[in-house]
């Protein structure tokens, strides 16, 4: 007759239990239960993968055509588009505003050509602390362009200048700009 051997690790005792029909039936039932559970889970595996893919559909990367990072003088925030002087995210969709902003953002830089009939300039900045920032990626989902930026972390207050990053992106399909929780709706040109 086969035995099941159990060892007590504290006292080093070995105990043998006869492995009769009762134990064989118990192990058979356990094996059958595990097999049925596994068999029941298999059809859900592909469905779980498909569900994950479906949730991510609709998010697309937006090409960044050009980008810049630098300091923006606080006293010149009035040059930013109306309603966007105090926001963390925004956009410029006309050459006149872009020229005015560029002159104080990059005073030594050559004005880059931007085709505003096809593109817009988006910007992001930290409005609480002076943190250098750079735009890494922009994604588009349901008409909202999400700006993903990298910032240094400091506790220096914004006094004379704010760090800002700008990027040129295609305007096709963009209805709003978002950086973090702040969202700014695009207003179509008249």
**All structural domains of the chain with their residue ranges:** 3-56, 60-185
Q: Which residues in the chain land under pLDDT 50? A: 47-57, 190
Strands 144-151 and 176-179: parallel
- Residue 118's pLDDT is what? 95
Tell me what pLDDT residue 86 has: 85
Rounded CA-CA distance 72/85 in Å is 11
- Output phi, psi for 166, to 5 deg: -130, 155
Q: What is the pLDDT of residue 38?
A: 63
Report the distance separating Cα 171 and Cα 173, nearest Å. 6
**Which are the contacts of 152, defined by CB distance < 8 A and separation ≥ 6?**
131, 132, 133
Within 10 A of 81 (CB to CB), how many other CB atoms are there?
Answer: 18
The two tokens of residue 110 are 């050559």
Residue 190: the pLDDT is 47
pTM metric for this prediction:
0.66
């Amino acid at each position: 007759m086969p035995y099941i051997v159990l060892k007590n690790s504290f006292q080093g005792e070995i105990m043998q239990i006869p492995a009769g029909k009762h134990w064989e039936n118990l192990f058979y039932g356990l094996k059958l239960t595990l097999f049925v559970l596994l068999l029941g889970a298999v059809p859900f595996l592909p469905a779980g993968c498909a569900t994950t893919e479906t949730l991510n559909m609709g998010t697309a990367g937006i090409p960044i055509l050009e980008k810049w990072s630098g300091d923006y003088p606080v006293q010149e925030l009035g040059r930013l588009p109306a309603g966007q002087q105090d926001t963390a995210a925004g956009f410029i969709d006309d050459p006149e505003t872009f020229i005015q902003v560029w002159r104080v953002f990059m005073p030594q830089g050559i004005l880059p050509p931007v085709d505003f009939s096809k593109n817009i300039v988006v910007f992001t900045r930290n409005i609480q602390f002076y943190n250098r920032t750079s735009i890494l990626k922009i994604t588009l989902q349901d008409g909202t362009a999400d700006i993903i930026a990298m910032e240094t972390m400091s506790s220096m207050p914004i006094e004379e200048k704010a760090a800002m990053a700008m990027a040129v992106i295609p305007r096709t399909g963009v209805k709003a700009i978002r950086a973090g929780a702040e969202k700014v709706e695009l207003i179509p040109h008249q």
